[in-house]
Amino acid sequence: MAKVRMDWSMAEFYSDGGTTRFADRLAASLGIESFRIKVVAVYEGSTVVDFEIEAEEKEEETVDADGNALTDVQKAANLAKA
C-alpha cells in the first residue's frame, strides 16, 4: 500500500486520464503489468492517490518422479511424449 501526492488539481488529474492513466504510468515506470495496480482512493490536498500493488502470481513448479525441478524445455519434451 502506498500514497502519492501530486501538485495537480483534481480537475487536471481527471482531464489527463485519471486513475487509468495513473496506473498505466506507474506500471510502466516499475516494469510491471498495470492490472496489478489498484487505485484505492483519490482525494484533494493537491491530488492524493492511495494505491496498492498486488503480488505477482508464481507459476507452479513441476517436478519429476525423483522430486527434481524440471526446466521449461524438459516440460515441453514431456508434453510432446504424451
pLDDT tens string 3-13: 888 888 899 99
Q: Which three cell numbers stand for residue 58?
A: 508464481
User: pLDDT tens-digit profile of 28-54?
Assistant: 988 988 998 999 899 887 787 777 777
Whole-prediction pTM: 0.59
What rounded mean pLDDT belongs to the chain? 78
Task: Annotate 8-31 with three-state secondary structure.
Answer: CCHHHHHHCCHHHHHHHHHHHHHC
pLDDT, average across residues 50-65 = 68
Residue tagged 518422479 (cell numbers): 65
pLDDT at 20: 94
Closest listed residue to residue 10, CA positions, set 54, 57, 19, 30: 19
Domain residues of the chain, as ranges?
A: 2-53
